[in-house]
Amino acid sequence: MRDLSNKSAWIKEKAKEFGFTAVGFAKAEFMKDEAQKLREWLGLNYHGEMKYLEDHFDKRTDPTKLVETSKTVISLAYNYFTPEKQKDPEAPKISMYAYGRDYHKVVKKKLLNLAKEMEVEFGSFKYRCFIDSAPILERDWAKRSGLGWVGKHTLIINPKMGSYFFLAEIIVDFELDYDEPIADYCGTCTKCIEACPTDAISKEGYLMDGGKCISYLNIEYKKGPIPDEFKGKMENWVYGCDICQDVCPWNRFSKSHNEKDFKPRPGLLEMSKKDWEDMTSEQFDEVFFGSPVKRAGFVKVKKNILYLSE
């Protein structure tokens, strides 16, 4: 049986071999403070139509409910930053994370392969892998694991690589050498708050009204057309939004990813405004095959494009 420090170091090194850019460990336990904040946030109805966030509250705030006898939450970050941009400045915009293949499949495969390597090295153990796909407070675990601090825009910021990365977890039934949270370095900066055109971020920061977030409106909101109150405020975003990250000074440290599956889909960045407006369902399926954009679907995307042009 290896000592905790050697075992922890081996996992971090192996994770980086699989392309993860940051790894940290936290004790698996009930998240008392985070549970209270979640209750308050849900009570404000800041989750909009995302009613699934109300489900499985116990599991969401206690990883031992997800994996029995669990001892550790391994938090991992996977970079998706690219300096490439859409060519036509008037074309509807999509978030950087959606340029390539669906991250759920790409990162989940790496998590499972990492877990298998761990089993080869340490012997059989109980575990589950997650990548934005289960009731787990990813940002809070990333914070507890020392991957970064929760910025005023409510995303995790890492001082060495900014915020353009996916979060993932492996919950395991053995202890490791736990990491400590790091300090908050947002300071007096309010760039993200000031830049948000829909005022989704509170004036003090650290609190997001999800119902006003552009990413929510153009992906999750399915009740009908986007409410008129957001007319002229969408800043041409048709899928997702990167505004609060684009203006964050910490993202000057972002570096290009090395993941071939995250390279922009062929022809995507070259699409003109007219290409988007004239796009058929067949063209949509071809351009966005295996892409996160499929989550919104052709009908929703076309409605978003029409909303932006009105």
Q: Please give the pLDDT value at position 223.
A: 86
Q: Please give the pLDDT value at position 135.
A: 94
Neighbour count for residue 278 (Cβ, 10 Å): 9
Q: Please report, in angstroms and rounded to a whole number, the separation of the first and last CA atoms in the chain.
A: 65
Contacts of 207-212 spanning 24+ positions with Cβ under 8 A:
207/41, 207/46, 207/154, 208/46, 208/153, 208/154, 209/44, 209/46, 210/46, 210/47, 210/48, 210/50, 211/45, 211/46, 211/47, 211/48, 211/49
Structural Rg of the chain based on CA atoms: 20
Tokens representing 99? Answer: 């340029």
Q: Could you tell me if residue 261 is left (phi over 0), alpha (psi between -120 and 50 degrees) or otherwise beta?
A: alpha
Parts of the chain with a pLDDT under 70? 1-2
CA distances (Å), 287 to each of 58, 265, 266, 282, 284, in order?
A: 40, 7, 7, 9, 5
The full 3-state SS of the chain, as one line of letters, equals CCCHHHHHHHHHHHHHHCCCCEEEEEECCCCHHHHHHHHHHHHCCCCCCCHHHHCCHHHHHCHHHCCCCCCEEEEEEEECCCCCCCCCCCCCEECHHHCCCCHHHHHHHHHHHHHHHHHHHHCCCCEEEECCCCCCCHHHHHHHCCCCEECCCCCEEECCCECCEEEEEEEECCCCCCCCCCCCCCCCCCHHHHHCCCCCECCCCCCECHHHCHHHHHHHCCCCCCCHHHCCCCCCEEECCCHHHHCCHHHHHCCCCCCHHHCCCCCCCCCCHHHHHHCCHHHHHHHCCCCHHHHCCHHHHHHHHHHHHC
Domain ranges for the chain: 4-81+102-172, 198-309
The type of residue at 40 is E
Q: Please give the pLDDT value at position 1.
A: 46
pLDDT tens-digit readout, 82-91:
999 999 999 9
The residues annotated as belonging to the active site are 132
The model's pTM is 0.96
Neighbour count for residue 252 (Cβ, 10 Å): 7
Closest CA to 268 of 251, 244, 245, 286: 286
